[in-house]
Structure 1
Amino acid sequence: MSKNILFITADQWRGECLSALGHLVQTPHLDALASEGVLFKNHFANAVPCGPSRASLYTGMYLQNHRSGTNGTPLDARHTNWALELRKNGYDPALFGYTDTANDPRAFDQNDPILDNYEGPLPGINPVGIMGDNIEPWANWLAKKGHKIPSPRSDLYFKQREQDAGAPAALDMPKEHHVTWFMVDQVMDYIEARQDKFCVHLSLLRPHPPWIAPEPYNSMYPPEALEDYVRHESVEQEAAQHPWLDWALKQANFIAPNKPEELARMKAAYFGLMSEVDANLGRLFNYLKEKNLWQDTLIIFTSDHGEQAGDHYLMDKMGYFDQSYHIPLIVYNPDEQANATRGTIRTEFTESVDIMPTLLDWLGIKIPIQCDGHSLISTIQTGTQPQNWRTEAHWEYDFRNISKGEAHEQSLGITHHQCTLNVVRGQRYKYVHFTNMPPLFFDLENDPEELINQVNNPDYFQLVLEYAQKMLSWRMNHDEQTLTHIKLTDKGIICQDVARYWPKPVALAS
């Protein structure tokens, strides 16, 4: 039996937006995937925005270790990733979409075009259908179908039909011409042409902005039913929570529209794009079943990060709120050993750094010591979590502005390197630590909307201390460790081959 991989990311998808979890967004095909696999309900990204989050997703490393902290910050070439590891083991990982990888400039000639933007391909991956800023493949496909190609080509994402009363305007093309349909078609064509095992990473743009959905997805969700937001009564009340939030709510790219009806239409289109992605994934899943590939293919569906969508008066992904970091995760393991857990929903905390170890573990490939995450395969097969599994989720946000120097750093009264925050988020409590600004502490049982900062409440002082210590212990436990398990001795090299939970010392002759 060949072992195939289908690794799917849908960009900017909030974790609760699955009808299998009771959300109003209709995702019947992903629900069906969850019914045959396992849905991880408390899954979180380890960083935002796209580049840093994907660096963690692809390397299994926390941001504190891979250090690709912003879109465009290079990913150090010394780190391996899931694609490189699969390539070493006879796979040809194929990319359809983008990985938002800023490649290490030290590994290329200074005139190499790969250094012209941060949307380069992940080292080790075969960019069969690369799509990012360059949408030439989609435009060429549309031209063959008689579609008029605008200049600039990016207008393909933006041109709208005349707006119906109340509903978001539809994209000016049929759904069969949209980029999501195109990408899924490319993957099916690729698999059809393969005569052996395949490993596909389908990295879909949607539901990332622009939030303009083709018919009928633009009108699936009435905007008047979507004016429900997690936030204080006023922006001023919201901003009073923390100096960083006060600053963010003054930035044009972060602040939500102040007209409720405009924001609701955007939200309706955002949800519509999710249902469109679901429908197209349904086409892909049906194809795999028709070709008798379903029973041989590990399928992972997740996202790189979430979206504020007006909550806390914010748009986009940033900061410390759950909306930017809580993302979906569904894993379908075709092996018979996973039959007992099919259709289950898991509630332990899982993170993006767990994806690379899961992929490698399923294929029987050794997990590199650099990985901060852990494989989910044993949980999927046994229905139980490993001993000493994490009790909190963790994420980091690097908000320095490299392009503009230290402009906003100065407005916050901190240095360039102090533009960082770390989060420890448990079932009940959440602690946010800034490098040189006040911390925050939330009681999620009594304040699930994260509106009340309890850090200065005497009733919570002991818990704040406990969570600050958790933060310190977490960072210490995950300090970069490439060579820390090796010792040179007069009798040769000693290597402790560390399994994170069950160390097995092994002496190696030199």
Structure 2
Amino acid sequence: MSRKIRNILFIMFDQLRWDYLSCAGHKTLHTPHIDRLASKGVRFSRAYVQSPICGSSRMSFYTGRYVHSHGAQRNNFPLKVGEMTLGDHLRASGMDAFLVGKTHMEADAKGLERLGIAPDSIIGARLSECGFDVFVRDDGLWAEGPDGFYDDRRSPYNEYLKSKGYPGENPWADHANASITDDGMLASGWLTQFAQQPANIREEDSETPWLTTQCIDFLQTPGRDDRPWLCHLSYIKPHWPYIVPAPYAGMYGPDDIQDVIRDESEKRDPHPVYDAYMQTLVSTSYSREGVRDNVIPAYMALIKQCDDQMGRLFAHLEETGRMDDTLIVLTSDHGDYLGDHWLGEKNFFHEQAVKIPLIVYDPRPEADATRGTVCDALVEAIDLAPTFLEAIGAEVPSHILEGRSLMPFLHGREPEQWRDWVICEFDYSTTPMATKLGLAHRDARAFMIFDGRWKMIHFEGGFEPMLFDLETDPEEFRDRRADPECAAEIERLYEALGQWARRLSQRTAISDAEVDKLTGKSQRRGVLLGLYDGAELPEEMTVKLRARPVPDFRERTG
């Protein structure tokens, strides 16, 4: 039996593409510190998120459940107050769960009020923070427009910048994510024309080093090792705005950019939903001359800064001996199109958006045989929650968690009946695309099922599906929905999607073991239906029914 993991460091980057690491094959972006972690662990080459948008994807990571189950289908959609999270499961086994960084969690304020739970109580705070105890939370999007701030909460990062002498009410926007022109004018990072300019901030004060420092401060808190912990270190970058301080600004140029993955054929008779996404401002912008040449070098530089901070963090772990008893996971909440497939942002189902980097380092001797290996099994984000529980020796509540532990792959064992497909969902009900297509909110939903070769996307609202064969078309240029030769594949994948939709996902208050205990319980408690004279059952089952003298209280007449 494996010895238990003491601590877990769960690192997540925001909008980091799976193929923008040198260990995953990027030709010009070198990420030696992340690569070194991969050399000490297992890199999963086919890991997929449950939704290609921050909030929904993260809620699946944190609950171990599909979006279809937890219901937080878009950013700013609350996570139901009754959903169990990593923190709930880990605390039941004696491990604390802390947050350093971003969750994009929206609290179920109405649910808390209905149950009479004060948001500032311990339970209320955990229910409002995805089950984590917050060391520091900063979702990193402090945009401000005519109607005010995107996020109404106080930004710890903004307060830090103010303490360092950066002026204004929103130095996140004015300094960390902006440059300055030669004549001293603000050059906002929201404008991609300035992406190659250095952010107007000292590098050590920018978002990624700040969060690394916060994590190290967490690790150095007196008494930290009195109890086992999970620390969710959740970085804000390389998410837009795409701008980075010196010395990273200018580190990469157009010659370092990998070829764009798009084809003119994708614009001919496109699927209506895909076409609507190609017409968005962020998508058409990437077709504009110079935009990719500006943005992608900045995106690469942000990743380079992230990798350097991994070097700093891993060095601290080694110096303090924590690399010996800490499970380390490094991943992302989704990818970034960067102009591929004529799209920007994420929010659709090509590999650039839904496939993520996933590296797991297990320090135990049982994992020695798999160090530095690549696993190509189909893996989902929801698999991390059961992996963490198995790592600390806890029972995995399979009636709640819908993922499967990755521990067999880490320890060189063949798992039993591994999954045949992965699922990804997207709700685009609040978007201009839904309005353009004339869709009701309930119809603006899509589901991807991918079996490792064939990828089908089902759209509610009466649309045809999309279908790609990644074996013959790895770039996903050719939608084969109308190809008669593919009709059987569509039918097969629809049957699989239906099987997934019929899964038992809402019976979460009682486990399979408890159901087993209930089997036959009613008979042994005297509920005996269908008997004629009692001879149908063993005598012990009818002991309370046997004839015996009793007083007669029937009303007598005459």
Taking the TM superposition and a 5 Å limit, the aligned residue runs for 1:12-161 are 12-23=15-26, 24-109=28-113, 121-132=128-139, 133=142, 134=153, 136-145=155-164, 147-155=165-173, 156-161=175-180
Select 2:204's aligned residue among 166, 169, 176: 176
> 1:264: how far off?
2.0
SS of the residue 1:230 aligns to: coil
Aligned equivalents of 2:505, 2:5: Cα separation in 1: 37
Take 1:239 and 1:129, find their aligned partners in 2: how far apart are those partners? 48
Q: What is the TM-score with the length of structure 1 in the denominator?
A: 0.88
Equivalent residue runs for 1:186-197 within 5 Å: 186-195=214-223, 196=225, 197=228
2:78, 2:107 within 8 Å by CA — same for their partners in 1? yes
Unaligned runs of 5+ in 2: 121-125, 143-152, 183-192, 526-558
> How many residue pairs are counted as aligned between the two chains?
481
Q: In 2, distance between residues paired with 1:220 and 1:491?
A: 75
Task: Quote the offset at 1:462 in angstroms.
Answer: 1.6
* Residue identity (%): 31
Give 1:249 deviation, angstroms: 2.1
Deviation at 1:257?
3.1
Q: 2:501 aligned with 1:475, yes or no?
A: yes
Q: Corresponding residue for 2:442?
A: 417
8 Å contact from structure 1 (residues 255, 314) kept in 2? yes
Aligned letter for 2:14? D
The question of whether the paired residues in 1 share the 8 Å contact of 2:273 and 2:433 is answered with no
Rate the CA distance shift 1:302–1:41 in 2: closer, same or farther, 3 A. Answer: same
> Alignment partner of 1:200: what SS?
strand
Q: 1:225 to 1:412 in 2, by over 3 A?
A: same
Q: Check 1:462–1:255 CA distance in 2 against 1; reply closer, same or farther (3 A cut).
A: same
SS of residue matched to 2:240: coil
How many Å apart are 1:129 and its aligned residue? 0.9
Q: 2:74 is aligned with what amino acid? A: T
CA contact (8 A) 1:49 1:71 kept: yes
SS at 1:25 equivalent: coil
Deviation at 1:320, TM superposition (A): 1.8
Deviation at 1:289, TM superposition (A): 0.3
1:338 equivalent in structure 2: 367
Q: CA RMSD in A?
A: 2.6
TM-score after normalising by structure 2: 0.81
Larger Rg belongs to:
2
SS of structure 1 residue aligned to 2:178: coil
Query: Which residue matches 2:328?
Result: 299
Evaluate the alpha carbon distance shift between residue 3 and residue 88 of structure 1 in structure 2; reply closer, same or farther with a 3 A threshold: same
* Mapped contact 2:103–2:130 kept (Cα < 8 A): no
- Cα distance in 1 for residues equivalent to 2:15 and 2:507: 31
User: For residues 251 and 113 of structure 1, do their structure 2 counterparts lie closer, same or farther at Cα, with a shift above 3 Å needed?
Assistant: farther
Give the match for residue 373 of structure 1.
403
Report the equivalent of 1:5: 8
Cα distance, 1:241 vs. partner? 1.8
Query: Displacement of 1:325 after TM fit?
Result: 0.7
Q: 1:228 aligns with which of 246, 250, 259?
A: 259
Q: Give the Å deviation of 1:475.
A: 2.3
Q: 1:370 to 1:113 in 2, by over 3 A?
A: closer
2:232 paired residue among 189, 201, 204? 201
Cα deviation code 1:254-295 (max 9, x no counterpart): 443332322221011111111111110110110010011110
Tell me, what secondary structure is at the counterpart of 2:456?
Answer: strand
C-alpha deviation, 1:330, in angstroms: 0.5
User: Is 1:102–1:120's contact at 8 Å kept on the other side of the alignment?
Assistant: no
Select which of 445, 448, 466 maps to 2:492.
Answer: 466
Change (3 A) 1:162 1:112: farther
Q: Give the alignment partner of residue 309 of structure 1, picking from 338, 359, 377.
A: 338
Q: Quick one: distance in 2 between partners of 1:330 and 1:470?
A: 28
Distance change in 2, residues 1:176/1:481 (3 Å): same
1:280 to 292, 309, 321: 309
Once residues 421 and 250 of structure 2 are traced to their aligned partners in structure 1, the CA distance between those partners, rounded to angstroms, is: 38
Aligned pair 1:454/2:454, yes or no? no
Partner of 1:353: 382
How much has 1:248 moved relative to structure 2? 1.6
